[in-house]
Amino acid sequence: MLKSLSILGYVGMVSGLVGLAVMRALFSLSPFVILPQFAAVLLLVWARVVFGRRSFHAAANPTAGGLVTCGPYRYIRHPIYTSVCLFAGAAIAGHFSWQAGICGGVVLGGTLLRMRCEEILVTAHYPEYTQYAAGTWRMIPYVY
């Protein structure tokens, strides 16, 4: 059930981003959009490099090799999902409309659903995740 829900979250994230792209609201020439989107890409690349050669699965699926708790994972548990939300949030701010807001809500909702499923599955696979989670933030330090 959790893996199915995580796929639904993944589809939501991708659908929201595709919706923004179709509306031509994903990118902007404004530095107020470019700067946070550039930071989001840097965070995503940093997290992906630190995560290593482990594969990404459409369904949340804990990978072998232990928990990754260094790099951006030292501060936030979900830096890749954070980068997706930051990228989409900047796009929405640069092209604000109710349609863009709906797409952003779909991205955020899908991300939150996926994170929750992933955390349950990772905790079952790695019991030490509970201690790690107690000392880190999900997405935004000191906020969430």
Locate the domains of the chain by residue range: 2-53+63-134
CB 141 within 8 A of CB 74: no
pLDDT of residue 53: 77
pLDDT of residue 52: 81
Residue 91, phi then psi, degrees to nearest 5: -60, -45
pLDDT of residue 107: 98
pLDDT of residue 99: 96
Q: What is the Cα–Cα distance from 9 to 11, expressed in whole angstroms? A: 5
Q: Which residue stretches of the chain have pLDDT < 70?
A: 55
pLDDT one-digit tens code per residue, 53-68: 776 777 777 777 788 9
Q: What is the Cα–Cα distance from 142 to 140, expressed in whole angstroms? A: 6
pLDDT of residue 6: 93
pLDDT one-digit tens code per residue, 107-131: 999 999 999 999 999 999 999 999 9
